[in-house]
């Protein structure tokens, strides 16, 4: 590979480039480009939601590769295109292999391919587990702020599920100005819960950290509840656990039974995407035969078209849009270019003349 110092952005001129290049951006470079920039990334994610809401994106349904001999595992393809200032197409290819955790590896791994808006040539491959966790956490932090308006700001947060996504959501909440008097932790794995508690204590977070023995304890003790599990189907059924009307970041999408959603204000990132793949909103639609339980998208909340009432549980269920990965990935690419550390694969494209 060759380290080059190209211009800060892709060429804007129409027509194919005479010599397309292809770069590889490592996880270390991605981490460096994103670290400590939580507020900037939330702005990027909110701007992308607005572009998506305005129809300046293409975000087809995700494709799931499943394995009969490995039923808990899957690989998902998320193709997308985004306009605006980013002007980039691409694909996230992300795997979820829960058995990795027992082997000491993260559950998820991913790459992101960025394609040139004018030529279609792929111009970069980025390590994307960090990008995926970042855009998920930025989306959650945005929703936490927007759905909490008009009610007392939550001071007690509870994390149900204590993996990488929970850690990133905590980082983004603190990085965007949140502080908590109490932080609750619950996981089916006592070892994972203890590990997350150690992380919180070592990060010198504000607030008292409590590991709860049950989901009920965690939910009842929290004004802001974060679900970041790998649950394949609903396992929380009791509406009375939510009698205090918390804000719920339902990031893992399949934790809540339909009766919970039917007593809540429900905000999603994209209606059509959320109502598929046996998510809790999808199961609720199948149960009721309608979509009346959905109140709008996060873009609707950002634009003021939907107001979230304070006296009702508010649930944000994001399916996770490929356009968010593209927007954050393009941000990373531009930052690496500006740093002068972009590593280009020499001669990656070989057949560049139509007739040789």
Residue with the larger pLDDT of the pair 344 and 102 = 344
Give the pLDDT of residue 292.
97
Delimiting residues of CATH 3.40.50.720 domain(s) in the chain: 134-317
- Going 11 to 131 to 275 to 77, the CA torsion angle's sign is positive
pLDDT digits 0-9 by tens, 247-268: 999 999 999 999 999 999 999 9
20-34: per-residue pLDDT in tens?
899 999 999 999 999
What pLDDT does 3 receive? 66
Q: With cut-offs at 50, 70 and 90, classify the pLDDT of residue 4.
A: low
In the chain, which residues fall in CATH 3.30.1780.10? 2-132+322-344
CB neighbour class for 217 (10 Å; exposed up to 12, middle 13-18, buried from 19): middle
Query: Which of 104-108, 206-210, 316-320 has the highest average model confidence (pLDDT)?
Result: 316-320
Question: What are the φ/ψ torsions at residue 48 (nearest 5 degrees)?
Answer: -70, -40
Does the pTM surpass 0.85? The reply is yes
Residues 106-127: tens digit of each pLDDT: 889 999 999 999 999 999 999 9
Q: How confident is the model at residue 5 (pLDDT cuts 50, 70, 90)?
A: very low
Specify the fold of 2-132+322-344. ornithine cyclodeaminase, domain 1 (3.30.1780)
Map residue 127 onto helix, strand or coil.
strand
What's the whole-number mean pLDDT along residues 182-194? 96
Q: What is the CATH code for 134-317?
A: 3.40.50.720
Query: What span, in angstroms and rounded, lies between the C-alpha atoms of 187 and 166?
Result: 11
Residues 6+ apart with CB under 8 A from 332: 25, 29, 30, 33, 34, 126, 131
pLDDT grade, residue 15 (50/70/90)? Answer: very low
């Amino acid at each position: 590979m060759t380290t080059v110092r190209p211009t800060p952005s892709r060429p804007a001129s129409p027509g194919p480039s005479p010599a397309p290049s292809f770069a590889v951006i490592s996880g270390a470079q991605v981490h460096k480009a994103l670290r400590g920039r939580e507020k900037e990334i939330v702005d990027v994610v909110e701007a992308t939601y607005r572009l998506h809401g305005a129809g300046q994106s293409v975000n087809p349904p995700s494709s799931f590769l499943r394995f009969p001999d490995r039923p808990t595992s899957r690989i998902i393809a998320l193709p997308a295109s985004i306009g605006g200032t980013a002007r980039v197409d691409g694909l996230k290819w992300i795997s979820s292999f829960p058995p990795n955790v027992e082997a000491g590896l993260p559950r998820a791994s991913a790459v992101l391919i960025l394609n040139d808006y004018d030529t279609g040539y792929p111009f970069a491959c980025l390590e994307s587990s960090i990008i995926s966790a970042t855009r998920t956490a930025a989306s959650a932090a945005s929703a936490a702020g927007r759905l909490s308006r008009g009610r007392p700001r939550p001071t007690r947060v509870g994390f149900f599920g204590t993996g990488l996504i929970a850690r990133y959501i905590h980082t983004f909440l603190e990085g965007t100005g949140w502080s908590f008097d109490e932080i609750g932790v619950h996981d089916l794995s006592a070892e994972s819960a203890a590990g997350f508690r150690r992380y919180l204590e070592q990060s010198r977070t504000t607030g008292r950290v409590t590991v709860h023995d049950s989901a009920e304890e965690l939910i009842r003790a929290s004004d802001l509840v974060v679900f970041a599990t790998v649950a394949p189907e609903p396992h929380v059924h009791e509406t009375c656990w939510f009698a205090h009307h918390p804000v719920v970041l339902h990031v893992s999408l399949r934790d809540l039974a339909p009766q919970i959603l039917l007593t809540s204000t429900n905000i999603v990132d994209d209606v059509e995407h959320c109502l598929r793949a046996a998510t809790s909103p999808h199961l609720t639609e199948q149960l009721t035969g309608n979509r009346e339980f959905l109140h709008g998208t996060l873009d609707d909340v950002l634009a003021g078209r939907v107001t979230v009432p304070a006296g009702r549980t508010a649930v944000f269920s994001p399916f996770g849009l490929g356009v968010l990965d593209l927007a954050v990935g393009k941000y990373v690419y531009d930052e690496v270019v500006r740093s002068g550390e972009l590593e280009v694969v020499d001669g990656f494209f070989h057949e560049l003349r139509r007739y040789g």
